[in-house]
């Protein structure tokens, strides 16, 4: 049974890759990246085992292992997404017991690309214990236990998120909260680090943390070989029990969650607006521009795929404040980085329409009207955010004289971004998660394409906003207030010019490429 | 060639090219060769003017399903540039016509398949097009709603509007359409008035003899229960 599903899963992967060259390239690039990271890791571990003693090996093993488990639990939301080729709802029609489904899902998790990579990385830690043969032998089952913890935990999280978020809204909220926690995890870790023994150097602090973590479900399995090597048999036994109990508990919890989710499939939450409440559609002027504007604004406010990107924005300065303090230059310049984030949010706007873009195309709206509507929708949200956050950041640092310069630089970047996006989104579409999809869903081949075109868009965006940016930076670092006002003027004027050019050029492009974009989106895997 | 004021059926087996044909005719899919004319306008030379005359129900595409039904119809009307006071009245009429009054404030993602089809149909009608192109309009629509919509479409053609529908239901085509084209594997096998095409047989039998592929069998042995 398990073997059949595994075969099926690789067949699906093979078919997907053979269907599109770009996904194949993305897959190969991802595989190469994983192999190179693994190679460096193994080299590092070997070097560690040769040149360092037992204490360092124990710290590395525990902290590395704990991070791995943590990564398996939370990373799917942010970067990769769980592979949904085989998941519980798809297996539900077949005559399989819940236990069998769990076995199948665990097996597919271990044999997936991330699973294999994790397995190899974990096995490589054996070299750390080669000098202590008993520890090396014991390490093998402990590694298996650790990897199993990773896979079962990630599956449990996925099931839980589907079960908890019975409705559409619930799932979206969970995804957003997890993302926010993740972004703030940097500051959280720094503050934890500063909590333990302030006087000690970093190495001692890490050791203290490792000792604490080795008693938690995250680190227990990874700590056992090190304890044995050090001759601490009782702690080793206790930690092994903790690790076993962790997997057992996760398995039981997952069993319950899965049973609940299979017997009560996600209900439709009938979120009802009052009939006659038209939202933005009642306020905007009729016509292509007004209609697109209203829809774009509705998406920015209600579609989690847009609003989640907005959420990152106010968190950025907080991260910088923790990293470098509010007196640091990084915090003062964070409005510019916010602007860079905001500038690219809409660079492949039409991808988010998906095949619903048919409605736009069938209505025969001119490209220029569509571009203008989308830009207005983005600007109504983006410009106020930029201005307010810049003012707040400057107010906190108390360096009021830099406000015009920073405002000029930030607005210059955002407006240039709107101009560039107006053209780029008429040229580029890429597979994205659908509006109602689980935040855990991954879209194959997306990450490679995304990273390529994002950098291109950023490049153009920085070139266009360079005049304002350079003047603004000079003004901030030399303290010349007059230059700041010039930067503001240049940023706004050049930015608006970029938007106008972008709308005209992008509009003409869209008139030409519209049907081709739709044809490409229809061919995306669903 | 679809005559003005006709109710034109497009039938063919799965994968025959019905959706592809209709997409090319409405300016959604660029044809490799050939031209499409709607009331004297070349669709691919002047798409904006052509699309203003066409009401289109595409099959197998998403709607902007984060909007409520009412918002979606209003949005479509705005895209066609209808005056504001007209939009409210037409939206209300269409919601009543499609039996969607109750669901007006529910977002379209929470609609059932049939309700989604009906709201898409409402969007195709809202700008009072001269030509309606409907791809599988009655799929999963309940019989009562289907009968109501049929009446409206008959009235529409009687007043000079033109309807093109694709369908798998021969009964429906024979009952509603005055013209029909049978296509398979991308080419037209027969076209004309329904009576010409069916040549004395039922449309169902005529279709099968044109397209072929019917085999008489009771199914495989292992599927039989006794």
For residues A128 and A46, the answer to whether their CB atoms sit within 8 Å is no
The answer to whether B110 contacts A282, with C-beta atoms less than 8 Å apart, is: no
For residues A450 and A429, the answer to whether their CB atoms sit within 8 Å is no
Tell me the pLDDT tens digit for each residue of B28-42. Answer: 888 888 888 988 888
Higher pLDDT, B112 or A432: B112
pLDDT score for A512: 87
For residues A292 and A370, the answer to whether their CB atoms sit within 8 Å is yes
Contact residues on chain A for B71, CB-CB shorter than 8 A: 278-279, 281, 298
B8 to A241, B3, B138, B146: CA distances (angstroms): 74, 8, 15, 17
Tell me the pLDDT tens digit for each residue of A81-123. Answer: 555 667 777 777 788 888 888 888 888 888 877 788 888 888 8
Task: Please check the confidence at residue A526 and state whether its pLDDT lies above 70.
Answer: no
Distance from CA of A514 to the nearest CA of B (A): 8
The answer to whether B67 contacts A295, with C-beta atoms less than 8 Å apart, is: yes
For residues B154 and B176, the answer to whether their CB atoms sit within 8 Å is yes
Phi and psi torsions of B57, nearest 5° = -110, 105
The answer, for B20 touching chain A at a CB cutoff of 8 Å, is no
Q: What is the pTM of this model?
A: 0.74
Contact residues on chain A for B78, CB-CB shorter than 8 A: 281, 284, 286-288, 290-291, 294
Q: Out of A70-74, A284-288, A314-318, B117-121, which region has the weakest mean confidence (pLDDT)?
A: A314-318
Q: What is the mean pLDDT of residues A471-498?
A: 84
The answer to whether B80 contacts A363, with C-beta atoms less than 8 Å apart, is: yes
Question: Cα dihedral sign for A40, A42, A43, A45?
Answer: positive
Contact residues on chain B for A519, CB-CB shorter than 8 A: 29-30
Each as own residue / partner, the long-range contacts of residues A427-431 (CB below 8 Å, 24 or more positions apart, any chain) are A427/A509, A427/A513, A428/A347, A428/A348, A428/A351, A428/A453, A429/A348, A429/A350, A429/A351, A429/A517, A429/A520, A429/A521, A430/A348, A430/A351, A431/A351, A431/A524, A431/A525
Question: Nearest chain A Cα to B30, which residue?
Answer: A515
- Confidence band, pLDDT 50/70/90 cuts, at residue B199: confident
Contact residues on chain A for B48, CB-CB shorter than 8 A: 364, 366
DSSP character at residue A232: -
For helices B113-125 and B84-97, what crossing angle results, to 10°? 140
The rounded distance, in Å, linking the Cα atoms of A88 and A48 is 41
Closest partner residue to A362 among B28, B68, B105, by Cβ?
Answer: B28
Start-to-end Cα distance in chain B? 52
The answer to whether B61 contacts A356, with C-beta atoms less than 8 Å apart, is: yes
pLDDT score for A440: 47
Contact residues on chain B for A526, CB-CB shorter than 8 A: none
The answer to whether B30 contacts A519, with C-beta atoms less than 8 Å apart, is: yes
Task: Please check the confidence at residue A509 and state whether its pLDDT lies above 80.
Answer: yes
Question: Nearest chain A Cα to B81, which residue?
Answer: A287
Give the count of beta carbons closer than 10 Å to the beta carbon of residue B63. 24
Biggest alpha carbon distance in chain B? 66
Tell me the pLDDT tens digit for each residue of A331-354. Answer: 777 888 888 888 888 888 888 888
Q: Which residue from B19, B24, B20 is spatially nearest to B37, judged by alpha carbons? A: B24
- Confidence band, pLDDT 50/70/90 cuts, at residue A166: very low
For helices A168-195 and A304-324, what crossing angle results, to 10°? 10
pLDDT score for A262: 65
What's the distance, CA A16 to chain centroid? 23
| Cβ neighbours of residue B116 closer than 8 Å, sequence gap 6 or more | B63, B65, B108
List b or e across A313-329, with b for residues whose CB sees 16 or more CB atoms inside 10 angstroms. Answer: bebbbebbbbeeeeeee
For residues A133 and A282, the answer to whether their CB atoms sit within 8 Å is no
pLDDT score for A500: 92
Distance from CA of A74 to the nearest CA of B (A): 27
The answer, for B12 touching chain A at a CB cutoff of 8 Å, is no
Contact residues on chain A for B101, CB-CB shorter than 8 A: 275
Interface probe for B, chosen from A362, A368, A373 (most Cβ of B below 10 Å), is A362
Q: Which residue from A102, A90, A126, A85 is spatially nearest to A224, judged by alpha carbons? A: A126
Domains and CATH numbers, chain B: 7-214 (3.40.50.300)
The answer, for B129 touching chain A at a CB cutoff of 8 Å, is no
The rounded distance, in Å, linking the Cα atoms of B105 and B102 is 8
Start-to-end Cα distance in chain A? 26
DSSP character at residue A399: -
Task: Please check the confidence at residue A272 and state whether its pLDDT lies above 70.
Answer: no
Percentage of residues in chain A having pLDDT higher than 70? 80
Higher pLDDT, A202 or A32: A32
For residues A440 and A77, the answer to whether their CB atoms sit within 8 Å is yes
Q: Which residue from A139, A121, A122 is spatially nearest to A130, judged by alpha carbons? A: A139
Tell me the pLDDT tens digit for each residue of A400-421. Answer: 778 888 888 888 888 988 998 8
Helix or strand run (H / E) with residue B42: strand B41-42
Q: What is the mean pLDDT of residues A386-397?
A: 84
Question: Cα dihedral sign for A158, A160, A164, A167?
Answer: positive
Distance from CA of B82 to the nearest CA of A (A): 7
Contact residues on chain A for B51, CB-CB shorter than 8 A: 362-364
The answer, for B70 touching chain A at a CB cutoff of 8 Å, is yes
Distance from CA of A443 to the nearest CA of B (A): 18
ipTM of this predicted structure: 0.85
The answer, for B57 touching chain A at a CB cutoff of 8 Å, is no
């Amino acid at each position: 049974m398990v073997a059949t599903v595994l075969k099926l899963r690789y067949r699906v992967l093979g078919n997907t890759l053979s269907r599109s060259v770009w996904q194949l390239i993305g897959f190969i690039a991802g595989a190469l990246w994983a192999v190179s990271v693994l190679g460096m890791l193994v080299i590092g571990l070997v070097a560690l085992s040769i040149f360092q003693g037992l204490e360092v090996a124990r710290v590395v093993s525990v902290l590395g292992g704990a991070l791995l488990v943590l990564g398996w639990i939370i990373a799917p939301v942010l970067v990769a997404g769980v592979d949904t080729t085989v998941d519980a709802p798809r297996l539900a029609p077949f005559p399989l017991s819940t236990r069998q489904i769990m076995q199948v899902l665990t097996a597919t998790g271990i044999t997936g690309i991330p699973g294999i990579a994790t397995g190899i990385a974990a096995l490589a830690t054996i070299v750390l214990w080669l000098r202590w043969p008993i520890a090396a032998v014991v390490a093998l089952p402990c590694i298996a236990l650790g990897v199993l913890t990773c896979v079962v935990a990630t599956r449990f999280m996925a099931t839980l998120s589907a079960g908890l978020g019975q409705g559409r809204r619930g799932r979206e909220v969970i995804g957003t909260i997890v993302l926010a926690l993740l972004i703030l995890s940097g500051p959280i870790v720094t503050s934890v680090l500063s909590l333990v023994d302030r006087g000690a150097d970093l190495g001692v602090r890490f050791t203290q943390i490792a000792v604490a973590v080795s008693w938690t479900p995250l680190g227990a399995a990874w700590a056992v070989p090190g304890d044995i090597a050090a001759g601490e048999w009782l702690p080793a036994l206790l930690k092994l029990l903790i690790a076993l109990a962790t997997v057992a508990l996760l398995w039981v919890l997952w069993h319950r969650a899965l049973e609940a989710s299979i017997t009560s499939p996600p209900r439709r939450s009938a979120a009802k607006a009052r009939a006659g409440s038209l939202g933005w559609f009642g306020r905007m002027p009729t016509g292509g521009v007004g209609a697109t504007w209203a829809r774009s604004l509705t998406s920015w406010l209600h579609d989690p795929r847009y609003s989640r990107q907005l959420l990152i924005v106010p968190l950025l300065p907080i991260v910088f404040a923790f990293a470098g303090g509010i007196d640091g230059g990084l915090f003062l310049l964070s409005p510019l980085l916010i602007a860079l984030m905001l500038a690219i949010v809409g660079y492949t706007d039409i991808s988010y329409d998906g095949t619903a873009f048919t409605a736009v195309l069938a209505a025969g709206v001119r490209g220029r009207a569509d571009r203008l509507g989308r830009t207005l929708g983005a600007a109504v949200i983006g410009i106020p955010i930029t201005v307010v956050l810049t003012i707040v950041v400057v107010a906190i640092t108390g360096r009021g004289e830099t406000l015009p310069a920073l405002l000029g630089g930030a607005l210059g970047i955002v407006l240039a971004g709107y101009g560039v996006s107006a053209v780029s989104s008429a040229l580029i579409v890429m597979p994205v998660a659908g509006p109602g999809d689980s935040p855990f869903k991954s879209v194959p081949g997306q990450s490679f394409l995304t990273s390529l075109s994002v950098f291109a868009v950023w490049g153009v965006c920085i070139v266009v906003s360079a005049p304002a940016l350079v003047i603004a930076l000079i003004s901030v670092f030399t303290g010349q207030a007059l230059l700041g006002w010039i930067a503001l003027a240049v940023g706004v004027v050049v930015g608006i010019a970029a938007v106008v050019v972008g709308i005209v050029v992008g509009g003409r492009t869209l008139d030409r490429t519209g049907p081709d974009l739709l044809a490409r989106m229809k061919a995306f895997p669903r | 060639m679809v005559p003005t004021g006709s109710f034109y059926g497009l039938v063919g087996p799965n994968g025959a090219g019905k959706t592809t044909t209709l997409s090319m005719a409405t300016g959604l899919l660029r044809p490799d060769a050939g031209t499409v004319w709607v009331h004297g306008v070349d669709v691919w030379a002047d798409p904006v003017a052509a699309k203003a005359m066409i009401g289109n129900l595409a099959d197998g595409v998403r709607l902007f399903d984060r909007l409520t039904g009412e918002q979606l119809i209003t949005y479509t009307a705005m895209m066609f540039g209808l005056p504001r006071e007209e939009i409210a009245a037409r939206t209300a009429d269409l919601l009543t016509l499609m039996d969607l009054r109750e669901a007006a404030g529910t977002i379209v993602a929470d609609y059932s398949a049939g309700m989604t089809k009906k709201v898409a149909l409402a969007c195709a009608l809202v700008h009072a097009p001269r030509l309606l192109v409907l791809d599988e309009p009655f799929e999963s629509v309940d019989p009562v709603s289907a009968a109501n919509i049929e009446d409206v479409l008959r009235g529409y053609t009687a007043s000079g509007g033109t309807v093109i529908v694709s369908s798998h239901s021969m009964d429906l085509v024979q009952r509603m359409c005055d013209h029909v084209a049978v296509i398979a594997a991308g080419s037209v096998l027969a076209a004309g008035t329904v009576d010409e095409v069916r040549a004395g047989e039922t449309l169902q039998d005529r279709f099968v003899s044109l397209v072929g592929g019917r085999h008489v069998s009771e199914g495989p042995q292992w599927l039989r229960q006794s």
